[in-house]
Amino acid sequence: MAMQAYGIAQLSLCISMNAMVPGALQPWYADDATSVGTAADNTRCLAFLVENGPKCGYHPQPEKSWYVCKAEDGAVAKEEFEKLDLPIRVTRGQRYLGGFVVSDEEKVAWLHESCRKWASAVGTFAKLADRWPQTVYAGLNFILQNQWQYVQRVVMGPGI
C-alpha cells in the first residue's frame, strides 16, 4: 500500500507541473520524473520539482540528473540550467528505464562496443570451460545472456 499512497501523493505534483509547464511532455514512472521539450521548458520543470517536490515527498537531486540533448543544443541547455543555478549534467546519451536514449549514430557505436565486450567475455569463458564447465555455464546463462537481451531490447525495442 505504501507505493500506491506515494503515487497518489505524487499525482498532485504531476498535475501542477503540467499546468505550470504545458509545453513539455512529462512522463513519470514511479518516482522517476522526465520532461521532453525545449531546454527552457525542461529547466522550468526541474526548477518546479526542486521548489515544490519536497512538499509532496519528492526530493529531486539535480546534481545526479542527466539532460540528454543533441550536440547543437548542449550549450543552450547548459546556459538555461545555469540561469536557475541547477547543477545538472548534460550528455548526448544515457541509460533510461531499461533503455538507452541517444542518437542513432551513438546507438550504433554503443552497440559495437557492447558486442566487442560480449565477444571478449565469451572468449574468456571458452578458456575457462575445460576446467570449470559449470561455472562457465552459469556465467553464460546468468550474466552474458541477460546482458545480450538488454542490448537487443535497446536496439530492437521492447517488443522482442
Residues 101-115 have pLDDT tens digits of 777 777 778 778 888
Give the domain-ending residue among 71, 92, 113: 92
Predicted confidence at residue 160, as pLDDT, reads 44
Does residue 67 lie within any of the structural domains?
Answer: yes
Identify whether residues 80 and 16 lie together within a single domain: yes
Q: Which of 92, 116, 137 is the C-terminal boundary of a domain?
A: 92
Give the C-alpha distances (Å, rounded to integers) separating 64 from 67, 86, 95, 150: 10, 11, 13, 23
Instruction: Flag whether pLDDT at 147 surpasses 80.
Output: no
Q: What is the mean pLDDT of residues 131-160?
A: 73
pLDDT at 64: 83
Boundaries of domain holding 143:
104-156
Task: Compute the distance between CA of residue 88 and CA of residue 79 in angstroms, rounded to an integer.
Answer: 11
Query: Does position 18 have pLDDT exceeding 70, yes or no?
Result: yes
Task: Tell me, yes or no, whether 8 and 72 share the same domain.
Answer: yes
Q: Please report whether residue 99 resides in a domain.
A: no
This prediction's pTM? 0.61
> Do the Cβ atoms of 29 and 97 come closer than 8 Å?
yes
Q: Are residues 44 and 17 in the same domain?
A: yes
Residues 62 and 134 placed together within one structural domain of the fold: no
